Amino acid sequence: MTRVMVSGPRRATTAICAVECGAKCCRGGGVLTLSETERRRLEGLAGDRRITFRYLQRAYRPRSPGDFRKVLGPWELRFREHEGEQCPFLDEHHLCAIYQDRPAACRAFPMRPEPACLLWPKEIP
């Protein structure tokens, strides 16, 4: 197993996330946790995109220190439930179509190494 030494936070870069990685964090089994205000804002930005929001009635129990469930919610947008199994705001170039208005969970990313993440092992100038 390869061990990656990390020191301090990494900041997202368009070149690595969109071009090299293909924006894995916005696709597949990921879930976007949203506050009520964010859900309404995304609904307003949706245009003709079909978006399914799920209301979470269960109590939030953080799974890890960086788990947004402890501070955000109560809504979820599950990528797998959308066309192409990706966030409906991800465009064909793997860029976020609402980048300036993206939710807090997306703004804080990436907080920790994820499996197959290209960002963390690299030193970013």
Closest CA to 20 of 115, 119, 107: 119
Which of 36, 37, 118, 124 is close enough to bind ligand SF4 by CB under 6 A? 118
> Least CB distance from residue 119 to ligand SF4, whole Å?
4
Where do we find the tokens 């220190």? 65
The piece of 21-29, 33-41, 50-58, 64-72 that touches ligand SF4 (CB under 6 A) is 21-29
Residue-wise burial string across 31-60, b where 16 or more C-beta atoms lie within 10 A, e elsewhere? bbbbbeebbebbeeeeeeeeeebeeeeeee
Is residue 72 a contact residue for ligand SF4 (CB under 6 A)? no
Is residue 32 a contact residue for ligand SF4 (CB under 6 A)? yes
Which of 19, 66, 117, 121 is close enough to bind ligand SF4 by CB under 6 A? 117
